Amino acid sequence: MNKKKRLIVAAIVALIAVPLIYAANVHFKRSPTFTDNGTTLTGCFSLAGLGNGDLLITIDTTGSATTFCRSPGGNIAPGQNKTPVHPSGSTSIPSSQIKNGTVSVCVTTEAPPTPTPQEAGCPNNNWSTSVQDVTFTSATITVVQGDQTVLTQTFTP
């Protein structure tokens, strides 16, 4: 292979590798801010160091739910047990919204499922339950670009 062809091949390889290398340094511009919405959690943040590709951003949380028990007669009493919950949420960001390798986003979890009367500590299974609040203890943000996880970090909200 002559010198000119080697230079062309090297230039093509470099052009292909640059977005991959650029995307390897994904980071938060600042630590995320979290808002406790009662039974959901919203994380807002800006990312930098992104390459050219669609994003899937997921927030996975852990916490404990405070529940109410409703008797068959309609009386409400607090549940006796804190129920462990793991609400999550995600959002997709098209590559067209990434500007100069940065994007700002907010992701909100879904509300946790309603625990069974037994899980909530109600007197029996004839009672119904509802989640009144969640105390969130951790939030893990995962960023996937293309098919590659480019960032995972856990926070205490």
CATH code of the domain in which 56 resides: 2.60.40
- pTM of the full structure: 0.82
In a domain, 120, yes or no: no
In a domain, 43, yes or no: yes
Angle (nearest 5°) at CA 60 between 35 and 102: 70
Angle (nearest 5°) at CA 151 between 84 and 149: 95
In a domain, 93, yes or no: yes
**Spatial contact of 24 and 17, defined as CB atoms under 8 Å apart:** no
In a domain, 63, yes or no: yes
In a domain, 99, yes or no: yes
pLDDT at 6 over 60: no
Joined together, the tokens standing for residue 47 give: 């990312």
Q: What is the mean pLDDT of the chain?
A: 89
Q: Which domain holds residue 43?
A: 3-67+80-114+133-155
In a domain, 39, yes or no: yes
Give the total number of structural domains in the chain: 1
What 3-state DSSP class applies to 73? Answer: coil
In a domain, 103, yes or no: yes
According to the model, what pLDDT value does residue 11 have? Answer: 45
